[in-house]
Amino acid sequence: MGGSPRDATPARIETEKNSINTSGSRRRFLGSAVASLTAFLGWKSAGKDSTAGGFELRPPGALSEKDFLEACVRCFRCAEACPNDCIRFHGLGKGLRKAFTPFIEARERGCILCGECAKACPSGALVPFQATRDGWLASVKMGTARVNKSMCYSYNGRTCGVCYRACPLAGQAMTIGVFETPIVHPEACVGCGLCEQSCVHVPQAIRVIPEPSEA
**pTM across the whole model:** 0.74
What DSSP letter does each residue of the chain carry, written as one string? Answer: -PPPGGG--HHHHHHHHHHHHHHHHHHHHHHHHHHHHHHHHHHHHHTT-GGG-SB--PPTTB--HHHHHHH-----HHHHH-TT--EEE--GGG-TTTTT-EEE-TTT-------HHHHH-SSSSB----SSHHHHHHH--SEEEEE-TTT-SGGGT----HHHHH-TTBTTTEEE-GGG-EEE-TTT-----HHHHH--SSS-SEEEEEPBP--
Please report which confidence band the pLDDT of residue 64 belongs to, taking 50, 70 and 90 as the band edges.
Answer: very high
pLDDT, position 46: 38
Give how far Cα 210 sits from Cα of 38, 128, 190, Å: 31, 19, 10
CA distance 46 to 57: 20
pLDDT, position 212: 74
Domain 51-210: give its CATH code.
3.30.70.20
pLDDT, position 39: 41
Nearest CA to 97 out of 59, 63, 35, 48 is that of 48
pLDDT, position 11: 53
pLDDT tens-digit series, residues 33-47: 433 443 443 433 333
